[in-house]
């Protein structure tokens, strides 16, 4: 059995980061789930919640699909949501691993549901 410190060291984070995962204070994103899964011999998907699953590679296409459900350009979608157009562009292109936070995810989920689409079906 590994300590939080040992596990953190093996995946390149602090023991406090591991503790925050265990307490549910921080989401486990796919990349970390893969590392943790290899060490703990667990399928990475079992470590993810719905938010983290949304943020798996391909989330840019999911966001683009939601925006297109409304027939809006990035500029128009930014005006509708109050988000910055550049942020939407970064999300859609998955630049630097930047993805929506949980609040933005919940809003995207509501927007998709308003159009009769479940976010996992986009």
Q: Which domains does the chain have, with CATH numbers?
A: 4-48 (no CATH), 57-121 (1.10.260.40)
Residue 104: its pLDDT value, please? 97
Query: For 74-110, what is each residue's pLDDT tens digit?
Result: 999 999 999 999 999 999 999 988 999 999 999 999 9
Residue 96: its pLDDT value, please? 87
Using the predicted structure, report yes or no on whether residue 71 has a pLDDT greater than 50: yes
User: Which residue blocks in the chain are alpha helix, DSSP H?
Assistant: 4-11, 15-23, 30-40, 50-54, 59-69, 74-81, 85-93, 102-114
pTM of the model: 0.84
What whole-number distance in Å separates Cα of residue 93 and Cα of residue 59?
A: 9
Residue 1: its pLDDT value, please? 84
93-99 long-range Cβ contacts below 8 angstroms, 24+ apart:
93/60, 94/57, 94/59, 94/60, 97/29, 97/31, 99/29, 99/55, 99/59
């Amino acid at each position: 059995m590994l300590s939080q410190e040992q596990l953190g060291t093996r995946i390149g984070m602090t023991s406090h980061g591991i503790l925050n995962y265990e307490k549910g204070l921080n989401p486990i994103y796919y990349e970390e789930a893969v590392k943790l899964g290899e060490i703990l011999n667990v399928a990475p998907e079992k470590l993810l919640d719905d938010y983290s699953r949304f943020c798996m590679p391909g989330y840019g296409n999911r966001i683009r699909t939601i925006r297109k459900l409304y027939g809006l350009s990035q500029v128009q979608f930014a005006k509708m949501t109050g988000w910055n157009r550049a942020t939407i562009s970064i999300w859609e292109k998955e630049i630097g691993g930047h993805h929506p936070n949980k609040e933005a995810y919940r809003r995207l989920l509501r927007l998709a549901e308003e159009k009769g689409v479940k976010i996992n079906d986009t």
